[in-house]
Structure 1
Amino acid sequence: MNSVRVTAIACLMPLSGLDDDPFLVDDRSQHAMCARWAEARDYDLTCRLSVHQLRADHATLWQDVEAGLVDVFVVPNRRALENAIASADEFTARCTAAGVRLETADYDEPVYTSAMKSHVHRRLSMPTAGYNGC
């Protein structure tokens, strides 16, 4: 099987940013967007990373690439990439040098109602209290 293997990168912004930019706080929705993108192309989503201002050369990004396990990185959009990786331009250049495609899903972001923001807040603020996000 010659499947294309995809690593999704979502931005993990602090919960304090929920009112200003809920999509960047809601890594679950970002990953769903990336999964939808991969599924539409019949690619295998093999890894999901949620990071905030990670260095472009950080081992977390490159260990699976070096092992030959990643063909494509996908991010929800450029804005998410710029918040997930400390230097989006450096990361883009590293992807090119490594022969790994960097794609953006670029689907419409969800429109967050007060109820949706509350749901995200509960999910992120109570992870150790047994709340599973449902």
Structure 2
Amino acid sequence: MEDAGRAPHPRAAAIASLTPLEHLDQDPFLVDTRSQQDMCARWAAAHDHVITRELLLHRLAPDHPELWADFDAGRVDLFLTPSRRVLDQAVTCAEEFTALCARRGARVVTADLAEPHYGPRSKARVHRRLSMPTAGYDGC
């Protein structure tokens, strides 16, 4: 039971960029949605927030109704992204998105934690996980 005197944890929609697999060698973090979501989860836990929605986006318009559905329904208080670079790939215009958030009263938070190091083995794991999702591969 939640303490009646305490405010509920802020609820976040974690934004990850759904960058095509062919960009794995140039920028593996942008392709690795799992690591992007993990970074958001670590930030949220460290700052007493809860992630209520995980969004995988690729160049979505900042005013797209699906992006705002949970905020409009009162299920999300803020948008959380691992880095500005991820946000730049997730929406068509990060500046327009942040301005729209300001007008609508939604915070945009950037985790800015250290990105994982990607060597040949970790890139191969990301490639295998993303290229075989329909073959029953579980991502291990």
Fold match by TM threshold 0.5 = yes
Question: What root-mean-square deviation, in Å, do the aligned CA atoms of Structure 1 and Structure 2 show?
Answer: 0.7
Paired letter, 2:29 = F
Quote the Cα distance in structure 2 between the aligned partners of 1:10 and 1:36: 14
The one of 20, 40, 45 aligned to 2:26: 20
Quote the Cα distance in structure 2 between the aligned partners of 1:132 and 1:57: 34
Number of residue pairs the alignment of both structures matches: 134
1:62 aligns with 2:68: yes
Quote the Cα distance in structure 1 between the aligned partners of 2:104 and 2:43: 22
1:108 aligns with 2:114: yes
| TM-score, with structure 2 as normaliser | 0.94
1:84 aligns with 2:90: yes
- Alpha-carbon distance, 1:28 to partner: 0.4
Quote the Cα distance in structure 2 between the aligned partners of 1:60 and 1:76: 20
- Structure 2: which 5+ residue stretches go unaligned? 3-7
Percent identity, aligned pairs only? 55
For residues 62-87 of structure 1, what are the alpha-carbon distances to aligned partners after superposition, in whole Å with 9 as ceiling and x for unaligned?
01111111111010000100010001
The one of 31, 35, 39 aligned to 1:29: 35
- Alpha-carbon distance, 1:41 to partner: 1.0
- Alpha-carbon distance, 1:4 to partner: 0.7
1:93 aligns with 2:99: yes
- Structure 1: which 5+ residue stretches go unaligned? none
Q: Which has the larger radius of gyration?
A: 2
| TM-score, with structure 1 as normaliser | 0.98
